A and B are shown apart, each in its own frame.
Chain A
Amino acid sequence: MVGLIRSAEWSETPLGDISGWPRSLKDAIGVCLDSAFPSFVWWGEDLIQFYNDASLDILRTKHPEAFAKPAKEAWSEVWPEVGHLVEGVIETGRAVRGDDVAMDPERNGGPERAYFTFSYGPLRDGEGRVAGVYVTAIETTARVRAERELRRSEERLSLALRSGRMGDWSLDLATGEATRSPLHDRIFGYEEMLPEWTYEKFLGHIHPEDRERVSAAFERSRETGEDLEFECRIVRADGAVRWIWALGTIQRGTDRPRMFGLVNDITGRKNAEAEVRRSEERFRLLFEQATDAAFVHDLEGRFIQVNERACESLGYTREELLSMKVSDVEQNLVPGGFAELWTYISRTGLPKKVEGVHRRKDGSTFPVEVNVGRFEGGEGRAILALVRDLTGRKRAESEREAALERERRARRQISFLADASRRLASFLDLEESLERTARLVVPRVAEWCVVDVLEEDSHEHRLAVSFQREDESVEVLRQKRPDEEAPEPVREVIRSGEPRLVESVDEEHLRSIATSEEHLQRLRRFGLESYVITPLTARGRTFGTITFARNDPARRYDEESLSLLLNFSDRAALAIENSRLYGRQRHTAKVLQESLLPAEIPAVPGLEVAARFEPLGEGVEVGGDFYDLFEASEGRWSVVVGDVLGKGPEAASLTSLVRHTLRRDARAEESPSAVLGSLNAAMLEEDRDGKFCTVLHANVRPDSGGFELEFASGGHPLPIVLRDSGEAEEAGRHGTLLGVYDDPEFFDSKVRLEPGDTVVLYTDGVTEARRKGEIFGEERVVDAVAACAGRSAEGIAEHLEKKLREFSGGELEDDAAILVARVVEWDGIG
């Protein structure tokens, strides 16, 4: 330092050359350099700084630049604090002190926080003026620390005591005797304070497994003087094992060294810690052993923790994964996805299930379901993701979906077939059944359908064509074409009886099947993609085809659809065949029925007669109703309406018997009841297995400008008499039905009919016409007839028929016969 003073270029400083320095400065520097304490001399107006070697560790890196520098510059960082002190010293000439200034001197190879008390004293020149400042630093680190430590421990103590949970104690290290607070003893299980407490007593309460450790800690503290702090288990007076925390500080300096300390029961905290450890352990186990791959990652997606399963599932090692992010394995991660997830799970506290696709190290991928939740791992905000491989489930799902689709398809097919069967079951004529077949197909199994039946005799094809219009309505057209104009595939299927399936149609194929340029254009417009032609085969004969066509490339026909269409076309074939047969049968029935009715109603002078006969709606079977009108004898006409039980040929045969018997007997017998009696007898003779019939037999005779009507009923509805005035009523008495009893009762009734009067005879097909559990009934018949006053016989029959049809909604279930006879003005012989 002396060398430094000598070598410095002082002439360039305000102090000038050393030779010119005042004595007082030289003295001050001398004192400074001799001092064992860090000392500084600040001299002159600029307070040029000198210092000794002891100051170097305070100055540290400031040396040597700080030497001969103005103090204000050398200490610029503390000058705001000390500057005014220094100025005060210069002004007043009085020494001042700066206590416990924190500095970072170089110690143990680095800077270390230390505290110094600086004293600033005046340096006077030869004239006694203050010309500089003498600065001495005294290190106060130890005291400052001790004071702070003390303060802290006092605070701790006071906090602990205030909180009321800590016991405090003081142990005489020489005698082992202790004084303590009541809480201290209570911690060890004594509600009442013990008369005395010793170190041995204390050790006796320490859990045997911890005793040695605690005892060693005490010994060490006693030897080194260091503070004592430990946690251990104790066995309380009541035998309960508890955890305590204890703190002790040795205080020496007195003749009897003591240790002061605190003790606290920390069982609760320990348990909580143990619980945390256990739960962490449990989590760790769960995490590791989870069948799901488990990942913990931060909000940037960086993996923090992964389990073995996670590694296996992705084919990475744990180390590899821990250097990766979620985005490296999750394919479907969208930017901002985490933020959104985090917001959700932290707001709701609930885990969230998301689906994704994971990519393995080898690049392959698999579908996953991820349960993401907030992870409370103490490492800040993190997300726990449990990932389940959905490959199996997805496969199962898609298999299930496929099975469901098959089932739905099967159900649709069954419903289609069931519907088809139902709709085709009712009796239709050929044209209707073709139309209905074509209509059933579109749009359910085809966009376009042709039902084609080859007529054997005419070599003509009868067609029903159905297709969907743009407005989605289905149009059905009837057509005919000569056999040679039918497309070759259709003719081939009729010839072979084998179906034809064309799964995919190309242009070449279109050309090959088109029958004309126009046909080709139509096929193109339709956009034919796929078609099936099935044979219509019934009773071993193929009589036509159904062509199913699609223009939707996504719904081409295949083998499976073919089997459905074949099934359908078998049903359709049967229905169409039946309708052909039905057409013939109906024709036969009509002929037979007509043979049972008078070919022509004979003209009766003065009587206007109209008949209606409705055989079973559009029936194919011969019904049991009949009527007859014949001249039984001169001037006596017999009018008969009857109903034979049953339908068909058997009924027709009985009808025939009844009709002929009546005709025969009516000639001989005059009274209607007698005619019925002999008919009854004839029927019983025939013994027709309980079959019976009902008949109304009437005779009409001209009688002085009008007619006399005499009639009897054998179980038959009575006639209705309509007067010209509009009154209408049932007339006569009921009689026993015919063919069952050998002692029937019949009653003859007579009614006189004037011109304009009418009698209406009918069968129970009229009264029993039904709608929804209600029958037409006599009252409606009477009302309908009553409404016809003034009408002709034909008009009355027409009106009654109309009412009947209105009531039953068009078709009658049973036969119904109506016979109307009206007296007109005539000049006949009376």
Chain B
Amino acid sequence: MEVLEEDGKVRLLLSGDLDIATFEKLTRALGEVEAREPGLIVLDLSNLDFIDSSGLRAIVAADAGARRDGHRVVVVEGPDAVRRVFRHTLLDKRLTLVEDADSIE
């Protein structure tokens, strides 16, 4: 996982699997990022291979945190295996999803 920070925007570039094994790591990283109170957190899943319900939980938590604290969380959709999960859970309607990081304003 890479954390890229610029102008109040923090981008978390995730890769590999986001599952119960990496959940803690992402949660911790998100906690640290949120503490810096950025205006925008980008969860970039484009390099992600797999996401399971634990991964979803982390993303949902990030989204919930954004609503609570008043910043934005944008999720860059990953490959089909990742999109599928958002579709099944209707999280695609809840989260701010974009196709690629460049399209974020």
User: A-side interface residues toward B, CB under 8 Å?
Assistant: 624, 643, 645-647, 690-692, 694, 713, 715-718, 734-737, 740-741, 744-745, 764, 768, 770, 773, 775, 777-778, 814
User: B-side interface residues toward A, CB under 8 Å?
Assistant: 20, 49-50, 52-54, 56-57, 60-61, 64, 81, 84-85, 87-91, 93-94
Contact of A717 with B94 at beta-carbon distance under 8 Å, contacts A646-B54, A740-B64, A775-B81 already known: no
Q: Report how far A624 CA is from B81 CA in the complex, Å.
A: 21
CB neighbours of A770 from chain B (8 A): 50
Whether the Cβ atoms of A690 and B60 lie closer than 8 Å is yes
CB neighbours of B81 from chain A (8 A): 775, 777
Sampled A-B contacts (23; CB under 8 Å): A645-B53, A647-B20, A690-B64, A691-B57, A692-B56, A692-B60, A713-B88, A715-B88, A717-B88, A718-B88, A735-B90, A736-B91, A736-B93, A737-B56, A737-B91, A740-B60, A741-B94, A764-B53, A770-B50, A773-B49, A773-B50, A775-B50, A814-B52
CB neighbours of A735 from chain B (8 A): 90
Contact of A736 with B57 at beta-carbon distance under 8 Å, contacts A775-B50, A775-B81 already known: no
Whether the Cβ atoms of A745 and B90 lie closer than 8 Å is yes
Whether the Cβ atoms of A694 and B89 lie closer than 8 Å is yes
Would you give the shortest CB distance from B60 to chain A, in whole angstroms?
5
| 19 other A-B residue contacts (CB within 8 Å) besides A715-B89, A764-B52 | A690-B57, A692-B57, A713-B88, A715-B90, A734-B88, A734-B89, A736-B89, A736-B91, A737-B89, A737-B91, A740-B64, A741-B94, A745-B90, A745-B93, A764-B85, A768-B50, A768-B52, A775-B50, A777-B84
Would you give the shortest CB distance from B14 to chain A, in whole angstroms?
15
Would you give the shortest CB distance from B85 to chain A, in whole angstroms?
8
Q: Report how far A777 CA is from B85 CA in the complex, Å.
A: 11
| Chain B residue with Cβ nearest A741 | B94
CB neighbours of A690 from chain B (8 A): 57, 60-61, 64
Task: Out of A624, A718, A734, A768, name the residue touching B90 (CB < 8 Å).
Answer: A734
Q: Report how far A716 CA is from B85 CA in the complex, Å.
A: 9
CB neighbours of B94 from chain A (8 A): 736, 741
The 3 nearest A-B residue pairs measured at CB = A715-B89, A737-B89, A736-B90
Whether the Cβ atoms of B54 and A645 lie closer than 8 Å is yes
Interface centre among A718, A735, A741 (most CB of B within 10 A): A741
A-B contact count (CB 8 A): 66
Would you give the shortest CB distance from B15 to chain A, in whole angstroms?
12
Would you give the shortest CB distance from B100 to chain A, in whole angstroms?
21
| Chain A residue with Cβ nearest B90 | A736
| Chain B residue with Cβ nearest A735 | B90
Q: Report how far A713 CA is from B93 CA in the complex, Å.
A: 15
| Chain B residue with Cβ nearest A747 | B90
CB neighbours of B61 from chain A (8 A): 690
Interface centre among B64, B84, B88 (most CB of A within 10 A): B88
Interface of B is mostly: helix
Interface centre among A643, A718, A764 (most CB of B within 10 A): A764
Q: Report how far A624 CA is from B49 CA in the complex, Å.
A: 23
Contact of A734 with B87 at beta-carbon distance under 8 Å, contacts A770-B50, A814-B52 already known: yes
| Chain B residue with Cβ nearest A694 | B89
| Chain A residue with Cβ nearest B88 | A734
| Chain A residue with Cβ nearest B92 | A734
Q: Report how far A735 CA is from B90 CA in the complex, Å.
A: 6
Would you give the shortest CB distance from B89 to chain A, in whole angstroms?
4
Contact of A716 with B88 at beta-carbon distance under 8 Å, contacts A692-B57, A740-B60, A740-B64 already known: yes
CB neighbours of A694 from chain B (8 A): 53, 88-89
CB neighbours of A716 from chain B (8 A): 88
CB neighbours of B88 from chain A (8 A): 694, 713, 715-718, 734, 764
CB neighbours of A814 from chain B (8 A): 52
CB neighbours of B49 from chain A (8 A): 773
Would you give the shortest CB distance from B96 to chain A, in whole angstroms?
14
Q: Report how far A535 CA is from B17 CA in the complex, Å.
A: 41
| Chain B residue with Cβ nearest A647 | B20
Would you give the shortest CB distance from A724 to chain B, in whole angstroms?
28
Whether the Cβ atoms of B87 and A645 lie closer than 8 Å is no
| Chain A residue with Cβ nearest B60 | A740
Would you give the shortest CB distance from A331 to chain B, in whole angstroms?
67
CB neighbours of A768 from chain B (8 A): 50, 52
CB neighbours of B20 from chain A (8 A): 646-647
CB neighbours of B60 from chain A (8 A): 690, 692, 737, 740
CB neighbours of A737 from chain B (8 A): 56, 60, 89-91
| Chain A residue with Cβ nearest B52 | A768
Q: Report how far A646 CA is from B50 CA in the complex, Å.
A: 16
Whether the Cβ atoms of A643 and B53 lie closer than 8 Å is yes
CB neighbours of A643 from chain B (8 A): 53
| Chain B residue with Cβ nearest A740 | B60
Q: Report how far A770 CA is from B51 CA in the complex, Å.
A: 12
Q: Report how far A690 CA is from B30 CA in the complex, Å.
A: 15
CB neighbours of B87 from chain A (8 A): 734
Would you give the shortest CB distance from B24 to chain A, in whole angstroms?
12
Would you give the shortest CB distance from A308 to chain B, in whole angstroms?
72
CB neighbours of B93 from chain A (8 A): 736, 745
Would you give the shortest CB distance from A745 to chain B, in whole angstroms?
6
Q: Report how far A717 CA is from B60 CA in the complex, Å.
A: 18
Q: Report how far A715 CA is from B53 CA in the complex, Å.
A: 11
CB neighbours of B53 from chain A (8 A): 624, 643, 645-646, 692, 694, 764
Would you give the shortest CB distance from A776 to chain B, in whole angstroms?
10
CB neighbours of B85 from chain A (8 A): 764
Q: Report how far A647 CA is from B54 CA in the complex, Å.
A: 10
Interface centre among A647, A715, A744, A778 (most CB of B within 10 A): A715
Q: Report how far A51 CA is from B93 CA in the complex, Å.
A: 155
| Chain A residue with Cβ nearest B61 | A690
Would you give the shortest CB distance from A167 to chain B, in whole angstroms?
94
Q: Report how far A647 CA is from B20 CA in the complex, Å.
A: 10
| Chain B residue with Cβ nearest A690 | B61
Would you give the shortest CB distance from A728 to chain B, in whole angstroms?
18
| Chain B residue with Cβ nearest A775 | B81
Whether the Cβ atoms of B57 and A645 lie closer than 8 Å is yes
Interface centre among B49, B52, B89, B91 (most CB of A within 10 A): B89
Would you give the shortest CB distance from B90 to chain A, in whole angstroms?
4
Would you give the shortest CB distance from A774 to chain B, in whole angstroms?
9
Q: Report how far A645 CA is from B57 CA in the complex, Å.
A: 8
Q: Report how far A334 CA is from B74 CA in the complex, Å.
A: 87
CB neighbours of A736 from chain B (8 A): 89-91, 93-94
Would you give the shortest CB distance from B12 to chain A, in whole angstroms?
18
CB neighbours of A692 from chain B (8 A): 53, 56-57, 60
Would you give the shortest CB distance from B79 to chain A, in whole angstroms?
10
Q: Report how far A624 CA is from B60 CA in the complex, Å.
A: 18
Q: Report how far A737 CA is from B89 CA in the complex, Å.
A: 5
CB neighbours of B91 from chain A (8 A): 715, 736-737
| Chain A residue with Cβ nearest B49 | A773
